[in-house]
Structure 1
């Protein structure tokens, strides 16, 4: 069965709305895209489409840029955060499988 995509991951927001929500200019957002910090989808008409998660990322990027962080450093930090999240997801899956296999629920063993 296909996994449902969270509404936060769906890329449906246009760049004008992103500008209104974030206070960033279209130029800033495009710059972040050029620097490989954000990856919008494109519609058939080549319009950029963003998700709510993209908007959160843009806010983090803008704050780090204001603090003087270079785009290379931001990209490295984001890459590391993504790797950590991926490892945690895998650990969670494995733990769930082990719990199911050995009858563990909320840290206590249960009878099946």
Structure 2
């Protein structure tokens, strides 16, 4: 079993201590849906490190005067932003794969004057074959 920030590790007393709260406060937040820990087969709560971080964020917002309903909205919007960011990353990866695998994709090269030249995939830059000979002036 691999452990990460979402692994349910902490009983309510440990999570409360880590978050700097009373266990009853965690029960209330669970009832209100602010933090929903995993439940064991025996129905006891198990909190993850992510839950503890969220509890600390709730405490911070509460100390700044944000109501519990306001906190619920903030947490919901943060979850939505995280979901949307993940979706954007997924779409960017799909787009990058599509662009790289599309036949006839555009290729860019430097021209003889330093300009950018657009080429079709599979074509080559025509190179000049002229030779320039430099002979320094004899200054004697």
Is TM > 0.5 for Structure 1 vs Structure 2? yes
Flag the structure with larger Rg: 2
Q: SS at 1:13's partner residue?
A: coil
Counterpart-to-counterpart distance in 2, 1:100 and 1:59:
40
Q: 1:80 aligns with which of 73, 77, 80?
A: 77
SS of equivalent residue, structure 2 residue 46: strand
Matched, 1:24 2:21: yes
Indicate yes or no: 2:10 matched with 1:13. yes
Is 1:91 matched with 2:83? no
Q: Secondary structure at the match of 2:66?
A: coil
Structure-1 separation of matches of 2:12 and 2:44: 8
Change (3 A) 1:83 1:5: farther
C-alpha separation in 2, matches of 1:87 and 1:23: 31
- RMSD over aligned Cα, in angstroms? 2.2
Q: Secondary structure at the match of 1:16?
A: helix
1:50 maps to which residue?
47
Unmatched runs of 5 consecutive residues or more in structure 2: 102-106, 108-120, 122-140
Distance (Å, rounded) in 2 between the aligned partners of 1:101 and 1:51: 38
Greater mean alpha carbon deviation, residues 7-16 or residues 52-61: 7-16
**Cα–Cα, structure 1 residues 92 and 5, in superposed 2: closer, same or farther, change >3 Å?**
farther
User: TM-score w.r.t. structure 1 length?
Assistant: 0.82
